[in-house]
Amino acid sequence: MNEYIAYCGLDCETCEARIATANDDNELREKVAKLWSELNGVEISPEMINCVGCRIDGVKTPFCDSICPIRKCASTKKYETCADCAELEECEKVKMIFENNPDALKNLKEYNIYT
C-alpha cells in the first residue's frame, strides 16, 4: 500500500502540512496554520505544521499524533489502514472523512483485497 495513504484513506502526499514539512516551507506552514485554525475553531501555530505522513515514522501535527480518533483506533488494532476493518463503511469515526472526500474511501478500497 502507498505509505502516504493515511489510516482513513486521505492522501498525505497531497497534504499541505506534509508538503510544508518536506520543503521546509515556513510560508506554507503559516498559510496552513491560519486555514486550519479557522476551520477547526482552535489556535494552530505554524510551528505545529510539521508532519511526514500519518503512517510514516517521524514528526506529526499534534492532531495527527495524539488526537485523531481514526489513527488511534487503527493503530491500536494494528491495522495497516482502516481498509483492514470489517466495519469500514459503517464506521462513525471515518464517516465525515468519506462524506467530505470520497477519494479517501476509494483509496482504501483500492488497497483492500476484501472489498
What digits encode the pLDDT tens for the residues 23-60? 999 999 999 999 999 988 999 999 999 999 999 999 99
pLDDT at 111: 72
Query: For residues 83 and 113, what is the distance between their CA atoms, to the nearest angstrom?
Result: 9
Is the pTM higher than 0.85? The answer reads yes
68 confidence band (pLDDT: 50, 70, 90): very high
Report the candidate in 81, 78, 39, 48 with the shortest Cα–Cα distance to residue 66.
48
